[in-house]
Every structure is written in C-alpha cells, then in structure tokens.
Amino acid sequence: MKPEQPKYRTSEEVDFVIIGSGAAGGILAKELSGNGFRVVVLEQGPYLTEKDFVHDEIKVFNQDLLTNHPQLQPNTFRRTPNEKAKPQRALVYGRLVGGTSVHFTANFWRFHEIDFTEHTRFGPAEGAAMADWPITYADLEPYYTKVEWEIGVSGQAGASPFDPPRSKPYPMPPLPVKAGGVLFERAARKLGWHPFPAPMAILSQPRPGRSACVNCGFCLGFGCEVGAKSSSLATAIRMAEKTGRCEIRPNSYVHRIELDANGRATGAVYFDEKRNVQRQKAKAVVVCANGAETPRLLLLSANKQFPNGLANSSGIVGKHLMLNSGGVVTGVFEHPLNDYKGFAVSRVLHDFYELDPEKLGFRGGGGLDARFDSTPISFALGSLPPGSPRWGTGFKDVLSHNFTRTLEIFCHGTSLPVENNSFSLDPDLKDAWGLPALRMTYKDHPDDLKLGAWLTARATELLDAAGAQKMWAPPVQEQQFAVHLLGTCRMGKDPKASVINSDHQTHDVKNLFLCDGSSLVTSGRGQPTMTIEALAFRAADRITSLAKRGELPA
C-alpha cells in the first residue's frame, strides 16, 4: 500500500525538488522530508510495487520491465573521442521508483580508507586524473552505519581483518552460507586468504512490513516481492512518504533545470506521462539521476550563462567515468551446489583490496566473491563452458548437469579516472522525446586491464583449490557496457577540477546539489551503492544545515 502523499502544485514553490528516486534520491527524500522540508521527487520511470515483481526472465531482461528501455532511450558508444559513436546499448540502470537499487545484487561493502586518499598515498598515475576526496572515510563512517541500521544490511562485524574501523556492529547477522560460499571459504583459507560472510543489503531477519529473504533465487535483475532486498523502494521511499511532506511523482522525465536572472535554480522542467511539459518550482534542486543521466541533464540544461552545460564552468561534467574493472572465473563441481537458491553472494574476500603498485606494476586493487546469480534461461543461453553444444542431446546433457553444479568467482576492481571516459550528448541520435541521446566514450586504463587479469588469476587459483572439475575464464577485455556509473560530476575543493564541493553543492549554482554515483572521486573496488547511500545521508545533513543557516537562496 502506498501511504497518502501530499500533492503539490507545480506552481507551488516547494523546498526541494529531487530528480531521481534511486539509492541516493530515496535517502535524500527521506531525510529532507523528515527534517521538515516539502519535497517533490520526480522519477522518470513508473511506480511499481512488490505485487508487480515476477520471476519472469523475458519480461525482466528482454522487455526491460525495470530498466532503461533501449528503444525509447537509445544511446551510442565509442572507445575514444576521435571516433564517431555508433548506436549500441552501452548502459543499464533501474528506471522506476527505487531506481537501480530495486534490481541490484545488494553486495554492500563499505569503501576503505585507501579509496579516499589513494592520490596522496601513491601519487599521480600516468593517463589518469587521480585526486583525493575532499572527505575521508572517517567523515563518512557514521553514515555507513546509518545505512546499515536504517536501510537494513546483514553482515558480521570484524569478520574481515581488512575492514576499516566501524562504530557499530551490523544490525542483523549475515545471510546463510550457500554451498558455493562454503567451497570459496575452505579454498581461500587453504591459500592463506581471509574469506568472510558477505555484507548484503538483504534482510536476514524480518523488519516491520518486510520479510527476511526467502531464498527464491530470482534476485539480481529482479525486484523483491517480499521486500527483503533493501532497495530505496522498500525502505527510504516509504519512510519519506510517511512524513506527509514528500510527494513521489513517477513518469516524470526531467530534461531541463532552469535558472533565474541571478543564476539560481528555480525548479525542474519535465515531460509528464502524456508528454506534456511541466515545470515544478522549488527553492533548491537536488539531482540524483545516476552517473549517466545526471551529467546528461546538466548538459541538456546549457544556457547563456553556462553555454557548455549547467554547473560546467570546469568543463568536466560527464568526464572521468569509471565502471569498475574485473574478471570472472567459472567452475563446475562434482556434486550439486544448488546455488540457484538464495541471493547471489554469501562469501567475499578483501585480501587484495590494497595491492602494492611498485611490486605489481599497476595501480588499484579489488575483492573476490563467490557467486551464482543466473536464472534458468540466462544460464542456458550464457553460462555453459566455451565450446559446449548449443543444441541437441549434448546441450541438454551439459545444461542438466551444470545448472546445479556451477559456481562463479567474480573479481571486482578499481577503474582509474580517465578524462576522456565520459557521458556526453550524441550530436545526432535522439530519444523518443526528441532529446539528444547519451553517448558513452570508454577505453579502460591499461592498469585496470592488468588488475583484472591479475585478480582473475587469483580467482582461478581459488577455484582450483576448491576442487572444481572444470573451469574457464574469458580473457579480460576492454569494457563496452556500463552498470556502475561513477565519477562523472566529481566532488572536490577546486572549482576548476571538480563539479561539486564536499556539501554536494555545485561550485557554480548555489542551490543546485548533485548526489549519486557521479559524485565519486575514485571508483572503490566495485559495490558502489553502499557508498552512494552513505553520501546521500551525509549530503542530507549538509544541505539541511545550509538551509537552516539561511545559506540557501529562498
């Protein structure tokens, strides 16, 4: 049931309009409305709820029930700025109330200290725009804890010797171990590594209105029909609605932020469900549209004062895109694991989080996890060993044997921030609303590829030690597809080298704030959502104090 919401008129100047209702937007909506402000959340996608979530792979993966639609919102891709970009689906994100947090894996590692200070620690890296964050892990720690307790994260404090300091344990124990997790744990220990129960944004114990995980196995890619996955939909959005001051307005596709003569944002212009243009007035604008759509919206909002895009005096809006690097190794075991039951990941290790660049010859680090996140059709079409029969008795045999016996080791690593890697507006291609489509430019930094190959070698050792009867790893290649959308409006002290300050306020427009994956200065080692949510809790505190001190233009 959706609680009663206020209905604000578009002409009514609310305190905040928030664009996007995902990991960051949901939390900002909850916090700002909870702090007494009147909030309108504009979400481009529909408002679906648990009753709409099904285990149908065709509906979810082929018809994009929960995600951006490649026909309505096509995009282009190129490797370098010298190339003409070609139409090619290059990114996926959640396009509904709750955003990508509705369908994500829910791996919820915190970033470590090194992620915030890597530049100072190791110096510049050739071909990368390394920078420290203007905040540290210690600044963010209370907000990581807030995410764990308020949104709901299961895990075991102190289980990893590499974990950064924490002020409180997890609010609930880890999810049960899966057979693949047991294999991973035993093999890793044999190798002298330190596996630990995966921190997951999935409930191991029920909370009011939400069930604990029932291990249905339709997790990554799917919405959770029992509310166990701690999406913004199942958590922050509902809390925001309960304040009575927050309106969630779905099917509202924002395409412009307007400024007044004094250079202040006056609200957001959007297409409603019938494609009529609406203008929601607000005292301040918070953009949480993700690391692709946030820079796109700023570029679409170019005006006389900001001919290169709103809040883009630095010229770096959309740049320094980071996707996270990695690799995958798959193994098949003698006995059934049945890892199709349950959530995706039950064991992780962080022994390689901080590597020595001097010794290895590349920057970065990463983590490994034990994973099975396939559903039957995707497994049959995409997860059999290379060279397997594609049809016939041989196909049926390998499919029937492997489905219950397969385990994957995923490697998650850093991407270095490269200026050319970016989201920008395609000069030719338009979306179904006639707006310039996203153009992605991406070529992995050479260190990212070296790291991916190095981690893949460790994962191979692990599967070997686990006793896999057969295993294979595709070569690590340059990426052409984005899931993690990071770094495109980076945070920093210098207005010439960053888009927002540590309060998430744009350097150029004082009542315009950005908070989502675009805010990140470094990529972490994968699993960015936990950090995006911690940033959102912190941003809400900062924005609230600015507003209460009267420092936001009214």
Partner 1 sequence: MKNTFTRREILSQGLAGMSAAWVSSHWPAMLSAAGHARQAAKGVGPAKFEFLYPEQAVEIEAISARIIPTTDTPGAREAGVVFFIDRALVTFAQDNQKVYAEGLSELRDHVREMFPGTEKFSAATLEQQDEILKSLDEQSSGGGGRSFRRRAAAQSFFETVRVHTVMGFLIDPDSDKHGNRDGVGWKVIGRDAEHMFQPPFGYYDKNYPGWQPDSAAADKTKS
Tell me whether residue 443 or residue 538 sits nearer to partner 1 (CB atom).
443
Tell me whether residue 338 or residue 420 sits nearer to partner 1 (CB atom).
338
- Residue 328 CA, chain-centre distance (Å), reads 19
Q: Return the number of other C-beta atoms located less than 10 Å from residue 284's C-beta.
A: 27
Tell me the closest approach of the beta carbon of residue 142 to partner 1, in angstroms: 25
Residue linked to tokens 């049945």:
338
In the chain, the amino acid numbered 325 is S
Tell me the closest approach of the beta carbon of residue 439 to partner 1, in angstroms: 17
Tell me whether residue 416 or residue 543 sits nearer to partner 1 (CB atom).
416
CA atoms within 13 A on the CB side of 317: 27
Six-digit token string for 334: 């003698």
Q: Which stretch of DSSP H or E encloses residue 246? A: strand 246-249
**Rounded-to-integer distance, Cα 541 and Cα 27, Å:** 11
Tell me whether residue 219 or residue 543 sits nearer to partner 1 (CB atom).
219
**Rounded-to-integer distance, Cα 130 and Cα 122, Å:** 10
Tell me the closest approach of the beta carbon of residue 12 to partner 1, in angstroms: 34
**Rounded-to-integer distance, Cα 244 and Cα 247, Å:** 8
Residue linked to tokens 């290790």:
349
Tell me whether residue 190 or residue 548 sits nearer to partner 1 (CB atom).
190
Tell me the closest approach of the beta carbon of residue 128 to partner 1, in angstroms: 18
Helix (H, G, I), strand (E, B) or coil at 396: helix
Q: Which residues of 54-92 are buried (b: 16+ CB within 10 A; e: fewer)?
A: eeebeebbeebbbbbeeeebbbbbbbeeeeebeeebbbb
Tell me the closest approach of the beta carbon of residue 183 to partner 1, in angstroms: 5
Tell me whether residue 135 or residue 380 sits nearer to partner 1 (CB atom).
380
Tell me whether residue 335 or residue 549 sits nearer to partner 1 (CB atom).
335
Tell me the closest approach of the beta carbon of residue 257 to partner 1, in angstroms: 29
Tell me whether residue 139 or residue 461 sits nearer to partner 1 (CB atom).
461
**Rounded-to-integer distance, Cα 546 and Cα 282, Å:** 16
Q: What is the DSSP pairing of strand 325-332 with strand 470-472?
A: antiparallel
* Cβ-based neighbours of 254, under 8 Å, separated by 6 or more: 19, 42, 44, 268, 269, 270, 289, 297
Tell me the closest approach of the beta carbon of residue 271 to partner 1, in angstroms: 18
Tell me the closest approach of the beta carbon of residue 111 to partner 1, in angstroms: 16
Tell me whether residue 262 or residue 393 sits nearer to partner 1 (CB atom).
393
Tell me the closest approach of the beta carbon of residue 73 to partner 1, in angstroms: 12
Question: Helix-strand-coil percent breakdown of the chain, rounded to 5?
Answer: 25, 20, 55
